[in-house]
Amino acid sequence: MTITLLTVGKIKEQYLKEGIAEYCKRLQPYDKLQIIEVVDEAVAENASAAQIEQAKEKEGERLLKRMPANAVLLALDLNGEQISSPGLANCIAQYQLTGKSHLAFVIGGSFGLAPMVLAKADKKIAFGLCTYPHQLMRLIFLEQLYRAYKINRKESYHK
């Protein structure tokens, strides 16, 4: 299976880069993982709701242009289905059982995902009720993806 993570913006903090690199390394034995970053829109601190929506739309267009063909799109969205670690593992396993060979997960920018991206999503999932910075969410997602593979293979997570 191929997993694509579509994200908005570049990682700036070194500690996040290191954590992301660690989980990418841990995921290598399980499946092919690719991370695709698109440019985030600059938004003024005092931006209007319309300006924020316009920025999300531009980011959304960029994300959809980079969406792999024939991939199942799963959007990480605060309003999505609340999912546990075993729930994510089961979700991935179910797609594998139905012959889906490419899953694309998408993480929006500072203001979330554009409605056009959410409308194209095959499934919307949430990692709890908390809001996380989108850069930190990338690390959290990769850790949970790694955990899901460990769960599905009935391997111990803690070594």
Neighbours of 52 (CB within 10 A): 16
What is the pLDDT averaged over residues 102-118?
96
**In terms of residue numbers, what domain contains 77?**
2-40+51-152
Residue 85 forms part of a structural domain: yes
- Domain of 25: which CATH number? 3.40.1280.10
Model pLDDT, residue 80: 96
Higher per-residue pLDDT: 157 or 93 = 93
Name the E strands within 41-133: 72-82, 102-107, 123-126
What count of Cα atoms within 13 Å lies in the side-chain half-sphere of residue 109? 25
Residue 100 forms part of a structural domain: yes
Residue 45 forms part of a structural domain: no
* Tens-digit pLDDT profile for residues 33-79: 999 999 999 999 999 999 999 999 999 999 999 999 999 999 999 99
Residue 158: is its pLDDT beyond 90?
Answer: no
- Cβ neighbors of 6 (< 8 A, separation 6 or more) are 36, 38, 63, 66, 67, 104, 105, 106, 107
Residue 102 forms part of a structural domain: yes
Model pLDDT, residue 159: 54
Residue 46 forms part of a structural domain: no
Counted domains in the chain: 1
Nearest Cα residue to 20 out of 141, 119, 151, 153: 141
